[in-house]
Amino acid sequence: MKHALLPIVPLIAAALGNGLAVASETGPVLVAPAEVKWTAGPPSMSPGAQMAVISGDLKSPAPFTFRLKLPASYRIAPHTHPAIEHVTVISGTLYMGPGDKPDRTKAKALTPGSLAVFPAGHSMYAWTEGETVIQVHGVGPWGIEYLDAADDPRKP
């Protein structure tokens, strides 16, 4: 039995050495808060966001988990995702609502421990007042489509 694990030991060591999480299909993923490695947010997010992939590959049709650290006064314009998205607030407060236009009367203040689940194709928007960390999980590939092309930071 010991020898059966030997082939995956180098993979685990390499992944942990690079600060990357091991995809869930290779074994358990255990990440303490101090081990989270933040990088600049993805091109699909406005500048200022930071991202940390906890597990999985966002481009693959497989489970994934990532975190976003959003600065104070950060805005995520109305958008949709191609698959169901689960958002858990880790710290701070995320104001999030359904719909094609931001409406502060329809948004909900999500504090640490709160969960939001949006089915594929449902439009949503969000903002922060103070720094906020959220965790997103689902089944990839992950993507974001802004309802107004002018809000998409990937567009010139």
Whether residue 2 is contained in a domain is answered as no
Whether residue 38 is contained in a domain is answered as yes
Whether residue 64 is contained in a domain is answered as yes
- One-letter amino acid of 48: G
DSSP designation for 3:
H
Enter the pTM of the model. 0.82
Q: How far apart, in Å, are the Cα atoms of 17 and each of 29, 50, 109?
A: 14, 20, 37
In contact, 76 and 125? CB cutoff 8 Å:
yes
Whether residue 91 is contained in a domain is answered as yes
Whether residue 4 is contained in a domain is answered as no
Whether residue 105 is contained in a domain is answered as yes
pLDDT tens for each residue of 136-154: 999 999 999 999 999 999 9
Whether residue 19 is contained in a domain is answered as no
The CATH number of the domain holding residue 79 is 2.60.120.10
Domain of residue 145, residue span:
31-151
pLDDT tens for each residue of 7-48: 433 333 333 333 444 444 578 999 999 999 999 999 999 999
| Domain count within the chain | 1
